[in-house]
Amino acid sequence: MIKTLAKQIKEFKAASIATPLFMILEVLMEMIIPYLMASIIDKGVNTGDIHHIYKVGGIMVVAAVIGLFAGMMGGRFGAKASAGFARNLREAMFNNIQTFSFSNIDKFSTAGLVTRMTTDVTNIQNAYQMILRMFTRAPASMICAMVMAFTINARLACIYLVAVIILGILLFLIMSHATKYFQQAFPKYDDLNESVQENVSAIRVVKAYVREEQETSKLRRASENIYNIFVKAETNLVFNAPMMQTAVYTCILLVSWFGAKMIASDSLTTGELMSLLTYCMNILMSLMMLSMVFVMVAMSMASARRISEVLNETSDLKNPEHPAMKVEDGSIEFRHVDFAYKKDSDEPVLEDIDLKIRSGETIGIIGGTGSAKTSLVNLISRLYDVTKGEVLVGGRNVKDYDMEVLRDQVSVVLQNNVLFSGTILDNLRWGDKEATLEECRHACELACADEFIDRFPKGYETYIEQGGSNVSGGQKQRLCIARALLKKPKVLILDDSTSAVDTATDAKIRRAFREEIPDTTKLIIAQRISSVQDADRIIVMEDGKVNGFGTHEELLEQNDIYREVYESQTSGGGDFDEKEGE
């Protein structure tokens, strides 16, 4: 885990090394000042040697300036190193997420990934800065102060040593209890983020069903869980301050008491006593500082593990050593394919799929909910790998292609249509970033999207809100189809992508496909038989198997499921789910 995170320090190694060096220099300057102050009092003030006061005072000013400079540089380099480390962690996680297959993404929730890239990275950033600065400064300050105290008077310095040992044991017990609660707290942020994310993305549904109160209650529960855990953790930490104050005042009293006696017996000077009292504060406050560093590090350990999980996750889809860089045509073949989302699953989602689709064919795919229609087409663009058998595109196994090349030639309009914030033109150019306005217009004409775009005051410069919330479902679908067409693919897959458009528009889109892109293989998943009945052939799916494959007329004659649903739909309703429920 530490090694995984340390790789992301990269160009900030120099800043990470410079920070503790400057912190040590600052500590050394701070430790010299009390020692010099003792010399001023004993050899200058008490003897009236003004020259000695000026001389040592000048050295103190120089030490203070050097210490100030070292502290400023330590803070500057520490901030640069920690902020840069956090930036690299976010970029590394985001870049790795981009390589994930759908099966990799399924392991993490959206809210969990957001928490890892925000709250968890912030925890690591704060902890890293404290490690570079305070974790260096506190032990160095404590050790130097202890050495200086023993140099001045070993007997009185033993008081500090005993106090440090007792305080260290007590602080360890407090930290160990508090750490358990902190480690429980940060995973709870996933629930909080999930609640906020769901509410914001579905705010229209929430308001339509007047569910604001229930959503508020859900958020309150998630927030309350975090609150309760932090209260328990902080309750343990409240003993830190009184313990530290007790130790400091006890040490001051003991050193003052015994020191006064030593001064009276001429075995200790006034200046040395003052220095010892200053070192007392340095030693015990360093211990306090060190305890807070341990808390911060303990808090960040849970975050570090969660970030490492994302960074160490490797895509289960790999390019071959020498990938094919060209898809010859849009032919598709399934050779006895089995598929399961989990490799150790006993029940496959798809079972013994054996199909041949010629390049340029229009293939309809119909079936009830859960019949694995989407799972079938996801294998074509290699969004998942088959469990058994082979999927071929253009006469080659999809595993032989470079994935980017394959997905450029297999354009998929997914069941959940997604538009991004930006203009209509920006969204269309996701299909081809070099596409001209005329090419975008032509794609929109094929998808029947030009009908509503031309009615917008700003046309293709109309701004689309995040997720396409300011356009209707049918408009969103048509824009997504146009975007897919701009890729000029050899295979076009429409996964129930015309469900929100009327039948007349659906027919126009299909006619445009037939006339304008005859060489592109088109796979159309639909619930309405009217959407696929003029396809060259139709696949009927049932329970992850191919129940029928043929033309509309052949299936009406030979396939009972297809015929019954067709009759139900043409007589005024009915779909595959109703058929399955009979």
Q: What is the DSSP string of 293-323?
A: HHHHHHHHHHHHHHHHHHHH---S----SS-
Rounded to whole angstroms, how far apart are CA atoms 482 and 451?
13
Give the end of a domain, one of 263, 283, 312. 312
Position 346 scores a pLDDT of: 74
Position 581 scores a pLDDT of: 42
pLDDT digits (tens, 9 = 90+) for 298-320: 778 778 888 998 999 888 788 88
Confidence of residue 74 (pLDDT cuts 50, 70, 90): very high
Residue 201 has pLDDT above 90, yes or no: no
User: Does residue 67 sit in the same domain as residue 7?
Assistant: yes
User: Does residue 292 sit in the same domain as residue 429?
Assistant: no
Residue 400: is it exposed, middle or buried by C-beta count within 10 angstroms (0-12/13-18/19+)?
middle
Out of 98-107, 453-462, 499-508, give the one with best mean pLDDT: 453-462
Q: Residue 402 is part of a domain; what is its CATH number?
A: 3.40.50.300
Confidence of residue 255 (pLDDT cuts 50, 70, 90): confident
Nearest to 481 by CA among 469, 466, 463, 493: 493
User: Does residue 509 sit in the same domain as residue 554?
Assistant: yes
Q: How close are the terminal C-alpha atoms of the chain, in Å? A: 54
Rounded to whole angstroms, how far apart are CA atoms 299 and 184?
9
Rounded to whole angstroms, how far apart are CA atoms 414 and 324?
25
Evaluate whether residue 246 is within a structural domain: yes
Number of domains present in the structure of the chain: 2
Q: What is the CA 28 to chain-centroid distance, rounded?
A: 41
Supply the range of the domain harboring residue 293.
Answer: 2-312
Position 252 scores a pLDDT of: 84
Position 202 scores a pLDDT of: 76
User: Does residue 175 sit in the same domain as residue 289?
Assistant: yes
User: Does residue 307 sit in the same domain as residue 353?
Assistant: no
* Length in residues, the chain: 582
Q: At what angle do helices 134-152 and 121-132 cross, to 10 degrees?
A: 30
Evaluate whether residue 547 is within a structural domain: yes
User: Does residue 454 sit in the same domain as residue 423?
Assistant: yes
Rounded to whole angstroms, how far apart are CA atoms 410 and 492?
6
Residue 345 has pLDDT above 80, yes or no: no
Evaluate whether residue 272 is within a structural domain: yes
Structure-token pair, residue 72: 């400023």
Name the 3-class secondary structure at 388: strand
User: Does residue 535 sit in the same domain as residue 567?
Assistant: yes
Evaluate whether residue 103 is within a structural domain: yes
| 77 within 8 A of 19, measured Cβ to Cβ | yes
Identify the bridge partners of residue 521 per DSSP, sorted by sequence position: 491
Of 378-382, 571-575, 577-581, the range with the lowest mean pLDDT is 577-581
Kindly state the percentage of the chain with pLDDT values over 70. Answer: 97
pLDDT digits (tens, 9 = 90+) for 396-435: 999 999 988 998 898 888 767 788 888 999 999 988 888 8
Rounded to whole angstroms, how far apart are CA atoms 369 and 518?
30
**Which region holds residue 525: left if phi is over 0, alpha if psi is between -120 and 50, else beta?**
beta
Rounded to whole angstroms, how far apart are CA atoms 341 and 319?
20
Residue 48 has pLDDT above 80, yes or no: no
Position 580 scores a pLDDT of: 45
User: CB within 8 A of 404, min separation 6: which ones?
Assistant: none
| 523 within 8 A of 492, measured Cβ to Cβ | yes
Confidence of residue 582 (pLDDT cuts 50, 70, 90): very low
User: Does residue 354 sit in the same domain as residue 287?
Assistant: no
Rounded to whole angstroms, how far apart are CA atoms 563 and 560?
5
Residue 277 has pLDDT above 60, yes or no: yes
Position 213 scores a pLDDT of: 85
Position 575 scores a pLDDT of: 58
Give the end of a domain, one of 312, 342, 358. 312
| 15 within 8 A of 84, measured Cβ to Cβ | yes
Residue 79 has pLDDT above 90, yes or no: yes
User: Does residue 301 sit in the same domain as residue 421?
Assistant: no
Residue 64 has pLDDT above 80, yes or no: yes
Q: Name the CA dihedral angle for 366, 371, 375, 377, rounded to a multiple of 10 degrees.
A: -20
More confident: 233 or 410:
410
User: Does residue 275 sit in the same domain as residue 405?
Assistant: no
Evaluate whether residue 323 is within a structural domain: no
Query: Given CA atoms 121, 123, 129, 135 in this order, what sign does their dihedral have?
Result: negative
Report angle CA 349, 353, 359 to the nearest 5 degrees: 125
User: Does residue 273 sit in the same domain as residue 384?
Assistant: no
Evaluate whether residue 320 is within a structural domain: no
| 187 within 8 A of 306, measured Cβ to Cβ | yes
pLDDT digits (tens, 9 = 90+) for 116-157: 888 889 989 998 998 898 888 888 888 888 888 888 888 888
Report angle CA 509, 472, 483 to the nearest 5 degrees: 50
Residue 465 has pLDDT above 90, yes or no: no
| 382 within 8 A of 323, measured Cβ to Cβ | no
User: Does residue 519 sit in the same domain as residue 489?
Assistant: yes
Confidence of residue 468 (pLDDT cuts 50, 70, 90): confident
Q: What is the mean pLDDT of the chain?
A: 85
Evaluate whether residue 321 is within a structural domain: no
More confident: 548 or 527:
548
Of 275-284, 359-368, 567-576, the range with the lowest mean pLDDT is 567-576
Evaluate whether residue 417 is within a structural domain: yes
pLDDT digits (tens, 9 = 90+) for 530-543: 888 889 999 999 98
| 31 within 8 A of 70, measured Cβ to Cβ | no
| 495 within 8 A of 459, measured Cβ to Cβ | no
| 457 within 8 A of 409, measured Cβ to Cβ | no
Q: Residue 250 is part of a domain; what is its CATH number?
A: 1.20.1560.10
CA dist 153 to 99, 167, 453, Å? Answer: 63, 22, 86
Structure-token pair, residue 215: 């959503």
Confidence of residue 471 (pLDDT cuts 50, 70, 90): confident
Rounded to whole angstroms, how far apart are CA atoms 275 and 259?
11
Identify the bridge partners of residue 332 per DSSP, sorted by sequence position: 357, 393
The continuous run of DSSP H or E covering 484 comes out as helix 473-485
